[in-house]
Structure 1
Amino acid sequence: MFSRRDIWIGLALVVAIVGVYLGSLALAPTGAEFLGSDAAAGELTGGVPWLEPLFRPGSPELESGLFALQAGLGGILLGFVLGRLTARRRS
């Protein structure tokens, strides 16, 4: 199934990813906030929104659930398209 070499390579990748994550936390300035690109864009434009959302969820839980649903459907669609392209190439 998996050779010893494959297991060691996978383990080394996991250790490297954890190391990069911990290193970035250690090198971050004290009190630094990890903001997303939305916050950075808001600072550049003066915080004035260009567009208004069509739908505002009533609670943060509903918003997070809709985001997860959107991500899941996108993943399913991507997997379907890649599977079809792979099958077409094989036949």
Structure 2
Amino acid sequence: MKKTVLLLSLVIALAVLPFFINHGGDYGGSDGAAEAVIQQLAPDYQPWFTPFFEPASSEIESLLFTLQGSIGSAVIFYILGYYRGKRAGHANHR
């Protein structure tokens, strides 16, 4: 019981702690940080291509990014489960 409470407390702390560590900054993401560094190092740099679709807002962009990750995770875990079930099925038939 103590172990469960301790682990649950750690999970909650990991979920809440980042909100207090930020020190009032903005979470801009790695793309924005990379763009800022490139502009500092080579101000005349021109991108090779432009995006073919620009979301209407950052919320939609975050939604699409999360959806993409969720679909990718679902595919990976489906394949892992399929092969694990297939292996368990072969083990039961022997």
- Which band: TM-score by shorter chain? 0.5 to 0.7
Q: Residues 35 and 12 of structure 1: is their aligned pair in 2 closer, same or farther, counting only changes over 3 Å?
A: same
User: Does the alignment pair 1:56 with 2:54?
Assistant: yes
Q: CA deviation at 1:13?
A: 2.0
Partner of 1:69: 67
Q: CA deviation at 1:19?
A: 6.1
User: Does the alignment pair 1:81 with 2:79?
Assistant: yes
Greater Cα radius of gyration, structure 1 or 2: 2
Q: Pairwise mapping of residues 1-91 of structure 1 onto structure 2 (< 5 A)?
A: 4-5=1-2, 7-18=4-15, 20-21=17-18, 24-25=21-22, 28=23, 32-46=25-39, 48-57=46-55, 59-60=56-57, 63-90=61-88, 91=90
Q: Residues 81 and 9 of structure 1: is their aligned pair in 2 closer, same or farther, counting only changes over 3 Å?
A: farther
How many residues get paired?
83
Q: Structure 2: which 5+ runs fail to align?
A: none
| 1:1-36 per-position Cα deviation (integer Å, ceiling 9, x unaligned) | xxx2453243232244146425523xx3xx533321
Identity rate of aligned residues, in percent?
Answer: 31
TM-score, normalization by structure 2: 0.57
Q: Structure 1: which 5+ runs fail to align?
A: none
Q: Distance between the aligned counterparts of 1:78 and 1:37, measured in 2?
A: 25
| 1:21-59 per-position Cα deviation (integer Å, ceiling 9, x unaligned) | 25523xx3xx533321111110122174332113334x2
Q: Distance between the aligned counterparts of 2:27 and 2:67, measured in 1?
A: 25
